[in-house]
Amino acid sequence: MTTLQSEDCQANDPNNLFPIAIESLRFPLDSTMRIIFTGYYNGFNVEVRSPEEMAMLHHMGCFGKGSLSRSKPKMSQNNCPCIMRKRQFLKRNDWHKKFDQRLDNSDSDTFFRDIDEITANIIKDSSNSRKRDVIDLVSSDEGESVHSEGAQNIDHPVLLDTWDKQDLVVIVPNSDSEEDNYFEKLRPECCVNKIKIQEKLMLTLEEAFFLSYGLGCLQILNNEEKALSTDQLWELFMKTEKRFINKYVVYHYYRSKGYIVKPGVKFGGDYLIYKEVPSIAHADYIIVIRNNIQKLDWVSVLCHVRMATTTVKEVLMVEVSKSDENLAEIPENLSAYNVREIILSRKNPFAINNDD
């Protein structure tokens, strides 16, 4: 096992293929050892909010995607404040001042009241305070407003002591121009971050239903914090995604074979399947799902093949059909669906002749 595999998801180890414990004769499992994760349906997909559950789901099977990351969710380290650009910090302060009336937080009101007083003393302009606040936060002249933040931190160190270390943020200057002396002029400042955006693990509908129905390790709650049954999830996901049945059948098919299945819309397909961990190996196939009703034209075929050739992949055309059309579309009848695989490849006659 390499170092990258130990830090990322474990797809090759059978014990870490899925986020469930494997029972054996030597190590029998108890009902108390079963882990049930919690997901929240937000109308588009399912999100996992607990940092421990996020890390375990991604580590054991590479499920989901971080809401603020490209793939692996980045967990915040304790006692380590995050680093933020100046413009981003000012914009978040602007948002908090606009919507602070909806937040029942008296400490935040006191905090920004002190900022307004310091800003007024620096600018020395008491007219049109509302317009001045907007200019201080979103104008191009950001030096004065950030200086007021720094002045507050120096003149009122007690305010920072009342906040947790996780609420602090390090402000660094903007780097619009690629100058060599950026780090020489770097003067970071420590401020209080009033708007914290939490990292979440976003699960697709197919991933969530596979964890809930296929593995039985995920419970999904609605907006009213009520757990949804398997039949309710099936009906809800079918309404959300018209092609949910075909997509889930294909997802379940390749997951049961040990592949890592990820969305493939970036490469013009429905899925990407990986034999190895996505962080250390590229996808091997682009999955394109089609049914018996859709007609396959040559233009779309050539587009898929050209994309796969450019990205060093292969196109796997998958057809989903039902053996008995009279069966109801319920999860218990998934065994009635058949999956047919067709590999599309493009042969270059000039390359073949040159090899001969």
3-state secondary structure (DSSP) of residue 315:
strand
Which one is catalytic: 65, 251, 313, 337? 313
Confirm whether 274 is a catalytic residue: yes
Calculate the alpha carbon distances from 318 to 55, 336, 344 in Å: 32, 16, 11
**Is 313 a known active-site residue?**
yes
Q: How many residues does the chain have?
A: 356
Q: Which of 16, 23, 39 is nearest to 212 (CA)?
A: 39
Q: What is the pairing mode between strands 337-344 and 65-66?
A: unpaired
CB 313 within 8 A of CB 267: yes
Closest by CA position to 148, among listed 177, 175, 106, 111:
111
Query: Which of the residues 131, 156, 196, 282 is marked catalytic?
Result: 282
Helix (H, G, I), strand (E, B) or coil at 257: coil
Write a three-state SS string for 158-203. HHHHCCCHHHEEEEECCCCCCCCCCCCCCCCEEEECCCCCCCCEEE
Residue 301 Rama label (left phi>0; alpha psi -120 to 50; beta): alpha
Which member of 271, 274, 285, 337 is catalytic?
Answer: 274
Residues identified as active-site: 274, 282, 313
